[in-house]
Structures are given as C-alpha cells and as structure tokens.
Amino acid sequence: MRGEYKVPGGKLVAVEFELEPAGLAAVQLSGDFFLEPDGALGRLEAALEGVSPDASVLALSERIESAMAHDDVLIGFDARAVAIAVRRALGKSSSWRDHSFELIEDGPRSPAMHMALDQVYAEALSAGSRGPTLRVWQWGAGAVVIGSYQSLRNEVDLGAAERHGICVVRRISGGGAMFVEPGSTITYSLVVPGSLVDGLSFEASYSFLDSWVLTALSDLGIAATYQPINDIASPAGKIAGAAQRRLADGTVLHHVTMAYDIDAAKMLQVLRIGREKLSDKGTASATKRVDPLRRQTGMSRDAVVEALIASFARQHTLIPSAPSASELAAAERLVSTKFARQEWTARIP
C-alpha cells in the first residue's frame, strides 16, 4: 500500500508498506523533506512496524514522536504528516484527487432558503444521496447572517435592519455575523466527507479547504493569504470569512462569504461591531477591515465568479449538477420549521 501527503507550504511525504495480520510491515518512508540525522529515517519507519490499520492520526503521531531521538529534526513535515500519509494508504483518509465535486450554481433565493440548502446538501452527502459538492449562490435579499452561537441583540441593530429592509437569519455553523446584499457578495459552500480533512485540526482544515480559492485569487492578481482562524485577506484588507459545521459522521459543511462590493455605511448601521473585535484586528475602523473584490480586480461579479469556478475546475474534478426536487422540498420544510422561525433566529436572544 502507498499513501502520500503534501504538507501545505511544506514538503511531500510518501509511505509504502505491506499489511499483514499483525499490522503494518516493511514500512518505507520517502519524500522531498529534510531530516537530520540520517538515522532518524530508520526510527520513523520502525515506529510504524506492527501498527494497527485502525490507528487514528493522533495515535500514529504519538507513536512516531515517542520513537524519535531528542536530536531528530524534521524539516518541511512532521509526525502528523506521516500519519496522514499512512491513513491515506489505508483508505481512511482521502485527498482532493480522490473525489469528484458536483457544481451547483444557485440563483437568487431567500436567505433562509440558502441556510436550509446548506444543511440539506450536507445531510445528503452523509446519507450517500449526493457526492461532494461546491455550491456558489446569489442572495435574493439583503441579510445579516449570524453564527450559530451569537447573541441576536448583541450582533444586530434590529431597528436599523428593519429600516433598510435587511432580514436576519442564523446559520448552523459558528463564527461571526456577515452582512450580505444581492450583487455585492460572492458566497460558496463546500460539502466534503470527513476523510478529506482526516488528521487535520479544525483550524488547519479551514485553510486546507480554501487553498483552492487562494490560488484562484492569485490568478486574478490578488496576493491573498489565510489569516487564522477563518479569514481570507489581502495586504489591503479582509476579503472573506469562513465557517464550518461537522455532522456526526464527520461530513463537513464549509462555507465562505466574500465581499465583492460593500455599502459600509449601511453595514455599520445594521451590525453592532464591538470595539473589542476591532482592536483584536488592529484597526479602529470596521470599514478599513474589508477590501472588496470589485475594487481589487475591476471585474464584474459574474466575471469573478466565473474565474473562481474555472480555477476550481483546473485544480479538481468538477461536474455540473443541480438541486433535486426532493432536496428543494426538504429545504422548504426546513425553512418553515427552522430557519424562518423566530425560535431559531433568536435561540440566543
């Protein structure tokens, strides 16, 4: 068996072994990494001999680390990278190339409907009725989308939202409030199996799942980087924010809201952006935190979306798809029973 793992910003790790009743055997580790001293390679390989094929990434990492000498130095990789390569060889972990992604380009729908569709597609992948999915959508109305654990009154000036015709919806993922308006926002969600992020910390999985969009933005001439935990930014300011929700079986819903354009004055009237949050970002003005894609690219929103999708298709396998009648019906039920109900939106008042 053979597995590979490319450390983001680091080196490639490959592991080969035979699987015997007693566990892994004849382990051979290779790659373009750096390792000192030379004898450390044998210690890493020996640590994996006899390991159970059911061992988790954490168990594998701990076994490798315990076998290392105090002066062993791993450069460009670590024990976790080796563990992920082992899990991939065993079919427990997967890579981007192991999956085909279904593309859904969704037209304008109500904010509550989009919240419901995200949940429906995640549950569909979990149930096996849909494959991994990339969904890019348009908003049918202006909205404030608050995180699952945020206080409604602390995040939104409801009077200002009503005056501006801005509705409020709560998503199933954590994170902060997002101000969105039709034509001014680019939003996408990725629904992937847990195997794709197997062995990655929650924080590392954010940048991993958005690595493709950093490449896409680079192709547009934007020097975008990931700012932990969940922001995509350029030297001029924030471009996007991400959020995640994981189902019981490990299925990941990862969604991102990107600022194409922004009405900063309206946003500041509707959102209650606290001084503590601004100070943490190193700025005294919320308007200076965001640098929209329209200003950075000079392209239309549709052109930017087209470029993002084309970049994903160059990097990964992408197949056109559409929501099924049963998925739309399930989402409508969720709207009426959950996402459009005050009990959900104000579950944390």
- pLDDT in the model for residue 289: 62
Beta strands at 237-246 and 231-234: parallel, antiparallel or unpaired? antiparallel
- pLDDT in the model for residue 320: 97
Band the pLDDT of 277: cuts 50, 70, 90.
low
- pLDDT in the model for residue 278: 46
Residue 85 CA to its chain's centroid (Å): 21
Q: Which CATH architecture has domain 96-345?
A: 2-Layer Sandwich (3.30)
Mean pLDDT of 42-47: 98
Domain 2-89 has CATH 3.40.50.1380: no
Band the pLDDT of 276: cuts 50, 70, 90.
very low
- pLDDT in the model for residue 273: 80
**Among 126, 145, 139, which Cα is nearest to 270's?**
145
What does the DSSP assignment read for 62-125? Answer: HHHHHHS-TT-EEES--HHHHHHHHHHHTTSS--GGG-EEEEEEEEEE-HHHHHHHHHHHHHHH
Taking all residues of the chain, what is their mean pLDDT, rounded to a whole number?
94
Mean pLDDT of 100-120: 97
Model's pTM, two decimal places? 0.89
Dihedral of CA atoms 112, 113, 116, 117 in degrees, nearest 10, equals -150
Which sequence spans correspond to the domains of the chain? 2-89, 96-345
Longest dimension (CA), the chain: 70
Q: How far is CA 10 from CA 6, 74, 77, 78, 81, in A?
A: 7, 11, 6, 10, 10
For the segment 240-269, what is each residue's pLDDT rounded down to a tens digit? Answer: 999 999 999 999 999 999 999 999 899 999
- pLDDT in the model for residue 10: 92
For the segment 188-223, what is each residue's pLDDT rounded down to a tens digit? Answer: 999 999 999 999 989 999 999 999 999 999 999 999
- pLDDT in the model for residue 290: 78
Mean pLDDT of 1-30: 96
For the segment 130-185, what is each residue's pLDDT rounded down to a tens digit? Answer: 999 999 999 999 999 999 999 999 999 999 999 999 999 999 999 999 999 999 99
Report the C-alpha gap between 113 and 171 in whole angstroms. Answer: 11
Report the C-alpha gap between 88 and 300 in whole angstroms. Answer: 40
Rg (CA), the chain: 22
- pLDDT in the model for residue 8: 82
**Two tokens at 305?**
């979306």
- pLDDT in the model for residue 9: 83
- pLDDT in the model for residue 71: 96
